[in-house]
């Protein structure tokens, strides 16, 4: 079994970006809005700031109290939409109760929507049009598959989870590369049998211990997107590593698999947004 090293690939992607950024007339700019004091969100935002530094980007962070009014956040997004030095705007999810996250995400200008949540970018993704953004986590998974020479073409790809952030865009990207895709969710009967037919199994549910060895076909590629805490408080995915490692040909670790690739994907989108704003080729 080969462990797919997302940490190493993400580091390589960030240093590639750093070299390209040095040739731009100005730094790509990312603005991150964090509302409330969710500790996991705080950690993610800190990570994004560090990534921006490593890639040579300019970054700004807006930390707002949980009781901030929707209108105030909308006004901030509006201001950032109009700024020439800001190429990407990110609203850290989840938002505190009472805020309408859909309305806030829809207010971000599509060309600054580096998380790929705006309906214009989602529409481009699902209709195969160019010019949108790649959703960070699924795009990171595809980059990892490519790096290890794995193509979804002609393969049965089973995606566990149908969220707008991971499951649905993951299915779209696998389909776009000629995979035959089955998407499973909480109402899917006989999950184990469906998983056992997967050549490529992507789990994005958020339930530790969900994917056991008997659910995995011999020689399958297993990508664990989930980030859970086990009984000891240790970070883990959906996959029972010890069991699945006996069957899979390729497997992503948690941590060190998809997580770092998601962060590298955000940096890539911010760079691409800057290139569009500066009217230069990203390559
Ligand atoms: P989410 O919005 O809660 O979606 C979870 C999905 O799993 C839903 O579609 C749900 O079905 C489905 N589900 C729940 N129980 C199931 C079961 N027993 N069998 C099959 N499907 C089931 O979560 P998310 O935002 O997509 O995130 C999923 C996981 O990935 C979480 O652990 C999250 O922390 C992690 N994540 C990691 C990264 C990364 O960078 N590594 C990025 C984003 C998310 P219904 O639709 O029917 O409810």
**In this predicted structure, what is the pLDDT of residue 143?**
98
Protein residue with least CA distance to atom 8, ligand 1? 161
* Distance from C-alpha of 123 to C-alpha of 97, rounded to nearest angstrom: 27
**In this predicted structure, what is the pLDDT of residue 162?**
98
Protein residue with least CA distance to atom 16, ligand 1? 186
CA of residue 207 to ligand 1 center, whole Å = 8
* Binding-site residues, ligand 1, Cβ < 6 A: 137, 160-163, 165-167, 184-188, 191, 204-207, 225-228, 258-259, 262
CA of residue 258 to ligand 1 center, whole Å = 14
CA of residue 225 to ligand 1 center, whole Å = 9
Average pLDDT, whole number, for the chain? 97
Q: What is the pLDDT of residues 82-96, one digit of tens each?
A: 999 999 999 999 999
Known catalytic residues are 48, 92, 115
Exposure on the CB side of residue 242, measured as CA atoms within 13 A: 1
Average pLDDT over residues 31-49: 96
* Distance from C-alpha of 205 to C-alpha of 224, rounded to nearest angstrom: 9
How many percent of the chain have pLDDT more than 70?
100
What is the band of 61 on the pLDDT scale with cuts at 50, 70, 90?
very high
CA of residue 163 to ligand 1 center, whole Å = 6
Q: Give the nearest ligand 1 atom to 258 CA.
A: 41
What is the band of 1 on the pLDDT scale with cuts at 50, 70, 90?
very high
Q: Cα separations (Å) of 113 from 215, 240, 255?
A: 37, 35, 26
**In this predicted structure, what is the pLDDT of residue 40?**
92
Phi, psi angle pair for 264, to nearest 5°: -65, -35
User: What stretches of the chain show up as alpha helix (H) in DSSP?
Assistant: 6-21, 39-55, 70-82, 101-107, 119-127, 136-147, 167-176, 191-195, 241-244, 258-278
**In this predicted structure, what is the pLDDT of residue 251?**
98
User: For a substitution probing ligand 1, which of 158, 206, 212 has the most ligand atoms within 8 Å of its CB?
Assistant: 206
**In this predicted structure, what is the pLDDT of residue 215?**
98
Task: Tell me which residue of 41, 93, 97, 44 sits closest to 68, measured CA to CA.
Answer: 97
User: For a substitution probing ligand 1, which of 186, 198, 262 has the most ligand atoms within 8 Å of its CB?
Assistant: 186
Q: What is the pLDDT of residues 170-212, one digit of tens each?
A: 999 999 999 999 999 999 999 999 999 999 999 999 999 999 9
How many percent of the chain have pLDDT more than 90?
98
Coil, strand, or helix at residue 251?
Answer: strand
Average pLDDT over residues 249-260: 98
Q: What is the pLDDT of residues 75-133, one digit of tens each?
A: 999 999 999 999 999 999 999 999 999 999 999 999 999 999 999 999 999 999 999 99
Q: Angle 251-159-223 (CA atoms, 0-180°, nearest 5)? A: 15
User: For a substitution probing ligand 1, which of 225, 257, 267 has the most ligand atoms within 8 Å of its CB?
Assistant: 225
CA of residue 15 to ligand 1 center, whole Å = 30
CA of residue 204 to ligand 1 center, whole Å = 5
Average pLDDT over residues 259-275: 98
* Distance from C-alpha of 77 to C-alpha of 118, rounded to nearest angstrom: 13
Average pLDDT over residues 36-54: 96
Predicted TM-score (pTM) of this structure: 0.97
**In this predicted structure, what is the pLDDT of residue 22?**
93
Q: Give the nearest ligand 1 atom to 237 CA.
A: 32
What is the band of 28 on the pLDDT scale with cuts at 50, 70, 90?
very high
Q: Give the nearest ligand 1 atom to 263 CA.
A: 40
**In this predicted structure, what is the pLDDT of residue 112?**
98
């Amino acid at each position: 079994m080969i462990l797919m090293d997302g940490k190493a690939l993400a580091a390589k992607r960030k240093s590639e970006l750093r070299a390209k950024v040095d040739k731009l007339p100005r730094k790509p700019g990312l603005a991150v809005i964090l509302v409330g004091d969710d500790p996991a969100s705080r950690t993610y935002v800190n990570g994004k700031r560090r990534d921006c530094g490593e890639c040579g980007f300019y970054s700004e962070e807006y930390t707002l109290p949980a009781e901030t009014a929707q209108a105030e956040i909308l006004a901030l997004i509006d201001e950032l939409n109009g700024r020439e030095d800001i190429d990407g705007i990110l609203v850290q999810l989840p938002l505190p109760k009472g805020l309408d996250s859909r309305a806030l995400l829809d207010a971000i200008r599509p060309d600054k929507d580096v998380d790929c949540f705006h309906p214009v970018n989602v529409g481009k993704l699902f209709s195969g049009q160019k010019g949108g953004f790649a959703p960070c986590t699924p795009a990171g998974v595809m980059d990892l598959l490519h790096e290890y020479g794995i193509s979804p073409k002609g393969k049965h790809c089973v995606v566990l989870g149908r969220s707008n952030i991971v499951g649905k865009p993951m299915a779209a990207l696998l389909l776009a590369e000629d995979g035959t895709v089955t998407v499973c969710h909480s109402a899917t009967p006989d999950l184990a049998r469906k998983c056992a037919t997967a050549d490529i199994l992507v789990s994005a549910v958020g339930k530790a211990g969900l994917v056991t060895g008997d659910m995995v076909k011999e020689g399958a590629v297993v990508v664990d997107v989930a980030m859970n805490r086990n009984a000891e408080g240790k970070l883990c995915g959906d996959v029972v590593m010890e069991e699945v490692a006996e069957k899979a040909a390729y497997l992503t670790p948690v941590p060190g698999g998809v997580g770092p690739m998601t962060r590298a994907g955000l940096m890539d989108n911010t760079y691409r947004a800057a290139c569009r704003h500066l009217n230069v080729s990203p390559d």
